Amino acid sequence: MKRRDFIKLSLAAGTAILLPGFAYSAELDLSKINFSTSINTDNQAQTIIIFMHGGASSLSGNLTNIDQIKSVSQSNYDNYFRGITKTTNNCWQEAGGTHMETLIGNGDMTLFRCCYSQVREQTNNKSHGSCTTQNQKGSFDPNSAGILANLAQILEKNGVVNDTSVMPFVTLEGDSKFYSEGKLPLNSYLKPVSLNENLDNPYSRYSRDWRYYTETERDIPDYNHKENGFDAALHGKMDTLAQQNNQSGKIKDALARRSSLDTFIENISTSTTPDLGDDAYPGDNLFSDKIETAIKILVKNPDTKVVTMSTSGLGSWDDHNEARNYVARTENLFRTLVSAMAHIKAEGKEQNINIMVFGEFGRNVNLNSALGWDHGNLQNFYVLGGKGYFNHKGVVGETVVDNTGAINRLYLKPKNGTYQFEPMSIAATLYKIYGIDNPEILTDNNGVIDQLFS
């Protein structure tokens, strides 16, 4: 993807192209937010949000009830998947379970088996659109703003980010409801910058990225600076004219900072990942390329608070039929997350950088006639890193099988009396680590996932 493909780019310096389709919604009342500057400063938190579009089954991280599930499922699990082995913590070995055990054993991850929406259960709401919107807004109110739009305005009000901040929010997936604006629009420098896994430089004026020149071309004197009639001298003249003739304001400021931003992006894109040994990123994997890039951005740029991404490169989690690929998909996901944690540690950032992995909902556990799973209401929530503020617990939550007796109505749900939380608590937890003391006012009175802080 080259410069012309950055159609949803917002320039950190000032000018912005608004992401389309974002409705103006309920206004954020900043006067009601209690903000702790000390918590924000102490945490120095940075976050990678991985959203699993399609609704991932929880079985990869929870085979606790598999024997009962097999006995009542419509189709035969063993004949179809040809390998369902429990790990020590009852994860699915063939579906990433070995890597989950590594992350849990290293104290790098908490696996929550208890993200369950009682609200949705009562209203029979298991649709992709509404559940994705709710989870990315952190609220059941369709008129609320996105989680990161709220966070951006709160951090701005409290002086954590401002118009000198470079790329405080980055998206590696394009449009997202995480950034839906309220009635008070975001200042342009708070809008997400859209990049790709190769960090092709949207600020460069060159028609080709120097990284893709041949060795012969690189050896030609000044070749990098002369393409299509443009050279460094002309760039300098144009910059001077822009400053002389443009009125003061955001556009003039953006042009003034273009050169520094060009260099800034180039420095990130050409940085190398430390030698991770046996934990090196798997090759030829778009998803692993994206998360490696996300970590590079956070390591090289403390101004960036949150990077959002999907699991593109692995496939959709909408496994209504032929769910066999779920096994390899989840294996690749958690193999990459092992590399990601090794990368974060090698950079000395395991205290600060956290990774949150979730989607819109889970799946039921009946293997249907199409050899897939239909929409459910229980999902796993995976939290990695952030050891400076999270106390990882390994595995949290117990489940039971809910068998209604009707065909294709076989679900997992939290065991009565055990720990559970609504998906909105994920948003509350994110708000909390950035210094918001009363996040429940933004999340329909759903508080933080306190198991992460105790």
Burial label for 449, CB within 10 Å (0-12, 13-18, 19+), is: buried
The pTM for the full model equals 0.86
DSSP 8-state secondary structure symbol assigned to residue 189 = G
Report pLDDT for 196. Answer: 82
- The single residue listed with the structure tokens 């994110």 is 430
User: Distances in Å between the alpha carbon of 28 and those of 25, 139, 150, 152, 442?
Assistant: 9, 13, 7, 11, 9
Q: How far is CA 296 from the centre of its chain?
A: 15
422 against 240, higher pLDDT: 422
Here the tokens at position 332 are 């690749």
What is the dihedral sign for C-alpha 209, 210, 211, 217? positive
Report pLDDT for 281. Answer: 97
CA atoms of 111 and 87, how far apart (whole Å): 14
Radius of gyration (C-alpha) of the chain in whole angstroms: 23
Least confident of 5-14, 97-106, 280-289, 363-372: 5-14
Mean pLDDT over residues 187-192, rounded? 90
- The single residue listed with the structure tokens 């493909």 is 5
- The single residue listed with the structure tokens 């020149």 is 213
Q: pLDDT per residue over 251-279, tens digit each? A: 555 555 566 677 777 888 888 999 999 99
Report pLDDT for 391. Answer: 98
225 against 145, higher pLDDT: 145
Residue 425 has pLDDT above 60, yes or no: yes
User: Distances in Å between the alpha carbon of 113 and those of 389, 396, 421?
Assistant: 21, 6, 10
Number of domains in the chain: 1
Q: pLDDT per residue over 70-123, tens digit each? A: 999 999 999 999 899 999 999 999 999 999 999 999 999 999 999 999 999 999
What is the dihedral sign for C-alpha 232, 236, 239, 241? negative
Helical H runs in 270-324?
286-300
Least confident of 38-42, 174-178, 228-232, 439-443: 228-232
Mean pLDDT of the chain: 86
CA atoms of 24 and 444, how far apart (whole Å): 19
Report pLDDT for 116. Answer: 98
- The single residue listed with the structure tokens 């002369």 is 226
Q: pLDDT per residue over 179-189, tens digit each? A: 999 777 889 88
Least confident of 124-138, 209-223, 277-291: 209-223
The SS3 of residue 177 is helix
Mean pLDDT over residues 151-170, rounded? 94
CA atoms of 359 and 131, how far apart (whole Å): 9
Report pLDDT for 198. Answer: 77
User: What's the domain range around 162?
Assistant: 3-452
User: Distances in Å between the alpha carbon of 242 and those of 4, 55, 236, 424?
Assistant: 22, 49, 10, 47
- The single residue listed with the structure tokens 């390899």 is 328
Residue 16 has pLDDT above 90, yes or no: no
- Percentage of the chain exceeding pLDDT 90: 70
Report pLDDT for 22. Answer: 35
Report pLDDT for 258. Answer: 63
Report pLDDT for 208. Answer: 47
Report pLDDT for 174. Answer: 81
Compute the C-alpha angle 330/147/190, nearest 5°.
Answer: 110
The string of DSSP letters for 110-173 reads: EEEEEEE-HHHHHHT---HHHHHHHHHHTSS-TTSPPHHHHHHHHHHHTTSS-TT-S-SEEESS
User: Distances in Å between the alpha carbon of 131 and those of 34, 141, 203, 297?
Assistant: 28, 11, 36, 29
Say which CATH number the domain at 113 has: 3.40.720.10
